[in-house]
Amino acid sequence: MGSHASIRRGVFKAMFRNLINFTRLLRILFQLLRYDVLYPIIWSKHLTFISWFVKIARIFRNRAYDNDRSGQRIASCLIKLGPSFIKFGQTLATRSDLIGEEIANDLSLLQDRLDPFSFNEAKATIETETGTQIYELFSSFEEEPIAAASIAQVHYAVTMHGEEVAVKILRPRIEVSFAYDVALFIWIAEFLESHFSWTRRLRPVEVIKVFAETISFEMDLRMEAAAAAELAENFQDDPDFKVPTVFWATTTKRIFTLERLEGCRPNDLVSLQKAGLNPTEILQKSACIFFNQVFRDGFFHADMHPGNVFITKDGRIAPVDFGIMGRLDLETRFFLADMLTGFLTRDYRRVAEVHFNAGYVPSDQSVDLFAQACRSIGEPILELPLAEISLAKLLSQLFNITEKFEMETQPQLLLLQKTMLVAEGVGRQINDQVNIWELARPLIEEWMIENRSPPARIKKMTRDVIAFTERMPQILDKAELTINQLSTGQLKLDPNTIHQFTELQRKNKSRFLWPIILLFATSIIFVGLSI
């Protein structure tokens, strides 16, 4: 009886969830239609209700945006829908494979400036989080924020020790608002995957989950503070890069206090010249810093638009927002380096092989056809004058052929591509005759020699072999434990599994032993050479 009641409650809960989400979806569709973002007139041939919905929405159409591009109208609509949608739009800006390059470029400029919340709410947050009165923490605190974004706003203040700081404070109840919207996004993504098989390759549910995880990190300002501290540690000896100091005593989940910096925007050429700074030198510093973040450290600032960066009076580059950061593991960095090298040397076969070796393209696809597709992408871009060559555009074009070759989306590379696009755009604003990647070429060549040359590969192989041999006792212990469990009946295998394993062992008995013998022989040789 209880189980039936539980099932009824589950069904009622699912129905209620669907009703709420469907109602909210209609509201969103209404706004999308008002901004002429969607064109569902095709659906109206089959659904009379949709036809009437379209007609009603177009009565209220916002004509102020008629001359804007579709991407610009989408950005305006997302701002109208609120903070979660603004952030989701910024995430979609990294997915040119989903929405197209032009719309992705427009969304990358999406600004999340919103109306500020009151000083009393900011004060209450600080005092609740710290358990201390605001004027016992700060000798002065500016009531008017200097910036108000979708998740937080920033106030200038002075500590009791006279240090000038910027205090970032989360919006009240923002976590509840985002959780509410993310639940809707998940519902829509699940519907798409269930009813439209072609969307499964794009993994919309996973995209939303990654988005939700990213936002949850952004809403814990301690994580942003930790990102700033890590970036500062990576560049502690770099005279050209300044990360503001984190004030941990007044940093909590909802408050982030950091050193206040002053300077001009990197694309403000007039201010740079007044300060006696050479824009091209600033550009070269930026290129080297970006390269070091991506390849040396595998940890990069993924939101380096001009509003998030200052150029200090002494010419240092200083980021001031650390909410969106990207990470690349070593293997991904090696893949990226080999792939870009293949493109730049026009070795398209190598580019294709790198993708197949990394497992990004299924093995049943044609290497030759993929190489041909890479050539069709690379040649038009590489034939341009040096100053106009865009590696970001090259990556974007590459990601756009994913469907044809069943290539899985790589979110970390999409984020990098969008970051590179912003970097190239700012670079052209500063000096449209210079290619920023050419400026970083000496560092690129040095890194390639240190990490991807034949001697470097041998060193890496040696380290991998030694690491494997060090893990061998643990592997053997686990194997012995598994055998014991099998022999005592604690662990059972399916009969089909046993049969397949026996057949595999019979067919590959000799081939199975040789890699182990070679592995240990190689490790002994390399250890001997290293000694």
> What are the residues facing 309 on neighbouring strands?
319
Element (H, E) at 437: helix 436-439
Position 364, amino acid? D
Active site (annotated) includes residue 115? no
358 closest CA partner among 342, 373, 381: 342
Question: Please, are residues 211 and 88 in contact by the beta-carbon 8 Å criterion?
Answer: yes
356 closest CA partner among 342, 346, 344: 342
Using the structure block, give the residue that is written with the tokens 């057949």.
503
Round to whole Å and give the CA distance between 304 and 282.
Answer: 14
> What are the residues facing 473 on neighbouring strands?
none
3-state secondary structure of 347: coil
3-state secondary structure of 260: coil
Question: Please, are residues 286 and 235 in contact by the beta-carbon 8 Å criterion?
Answer: no
CA angle 279, 383, 440 (to 5 degrees): 35
Using the structure block, give the residue that is written with the tokens 């070429």.
441
Round to whole Å and give the CA distance between 391 and 435.
Answer: 10
413 closest CA partner among 347, 333, 520: 333
Structure tokens at 179: 């959780």
Give, in order, the Cα–Cα distances in Å from 482 to each of 470, 475, 477, 493, 494.
20, 11, 9, 11, 15
- CB contact set of 148 (below 8 Å; sequence gap of 6+): 113, 114, 115, 116, 117, 154
The active-site residue out of 303, 329, 338, 494 is 303
Length of the chain (residues): 531
208 closest CA partner among 87, 120, 326, 309: 87
Round to whole Å and give the CA distance between 453 and 399.
Answer: 27
Structure tokens at 83: 């903070």
Round to whole Å and give the CA distance between 20 and 436.
Answer: 49
Burial label for 270, CB within 10 Å (0-12, 13-18, 19+), is: exposed
Give, in order, the Cα–Cα distances in Å from 325 to each of 299, 316, 337, 470.
7, 20, 20, 34
Angle between helices 83-92 and 204-218 (to 10 degrees): 120
SS (H, E, C) 69-120: CHHHHHHHHHHHHCHHHHHHHHHHCCCHHHHCHHHHHHHHCCCCCCCCCCHH
* Number of Cβ atoms within 10 Å of the Cβ of 384: 12
Residues annotated as catalytic are 303
